[in-house]
């Protein structure tokens, strides 16, 4: 097991309560590449810096989020599109370093998260799946998407195609996504 690939589901992003998945949300057929995503962005509500470095060959981006006191999170991001709507699939970078013992690292699992992406002029609007809404949906329709409950959370376990079918239903469900956070471009 490669320890650098491991990261806790709970600590993956600064989005508290994000909906985690064991599998990616994209397929090769849904991947898109947009050079306009590259660059440095400032998260409006907390002043985090998001730097997207493109890798067109892999149709991906390396995302470094600089948080308070220069703490950084390094993620691999894939932009994908379903029915004209764009999403970001975020996954921890393989070279992520955790300050913990090997025994703890051996018990951690890397996870994928998805953010819906919209534009408002030059700004990016990013919205995560709303964990409360998703939990309600899973209780009412447990077969809508494969998942497992882990303590007080749940993890999606469906295939990428099953996850995409679930995302397609999102726009028709109130509060499927959270209110979007705003990323403003930083002019060099």
Length in residues, the chain: 188
* Tens digits of residue pLDDT in 98-125: 666 777 766 677 789 999 999 999 999 9
Say what the pLDDT of residue 172 is: 83
pLDDT of residue 2 exceeding 50, the answer is no
Helix (H, G, I), strand (E, B), or coil: what is residue 154? Answer: strand
| CA 188 – CA 173 distance, rounded (Å) | 39
* Tens digits of residue pLDDT in 46-101: 888 999 999 998 999 999 999 877 788 899 999 999 999 999 999 998 766 666 67
Split at pLDDT 50, 70, 90, the class of 21 is: very high
- What's the pTM? 0.85
Q: CA-based angle 95:100:105, to the nearest 5?
A: 65
């Amino acid at each position: 097991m490669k320890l650098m690939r491991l990261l806790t589901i709970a600590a993956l992003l600064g989005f508290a309560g994000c909906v985690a998945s064991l599998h990616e949300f994209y397929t090769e057929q849904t991947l898109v590449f947009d050079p306009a995503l590259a660059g440095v962005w400032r998260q409006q509500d907390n002043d985090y810096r998001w730097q997207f470095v493109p890798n067109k060959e892999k149709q991906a981006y390396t995302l470094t989020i600089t948080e308070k006191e220069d703490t950084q999170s390094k993620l691999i991001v894939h932009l994908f599109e379903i029915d004209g709507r764009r999403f970001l699939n975020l996954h921890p970078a393989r070279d992520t370093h955790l300050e913990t013992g090997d025994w703890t690292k051996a018990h951690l699992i890397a996870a994928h998260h998805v953010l819906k992406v919209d534009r408002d002029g030059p700004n990016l609007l990013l919205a995560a799946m709303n964990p409360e809404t998703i939990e309600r949906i899973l209780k009412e329709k447990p077969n809508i998407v494969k998942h497992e409950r882990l303590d007080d959370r749940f993890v999606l376990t469906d295939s990428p195609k099953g996850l995409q079918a679930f995302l397609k239903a999102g726009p028709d469900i109130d509060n499927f996504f959270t209110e979007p956070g705003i990323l403003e471009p930083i002019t060099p």
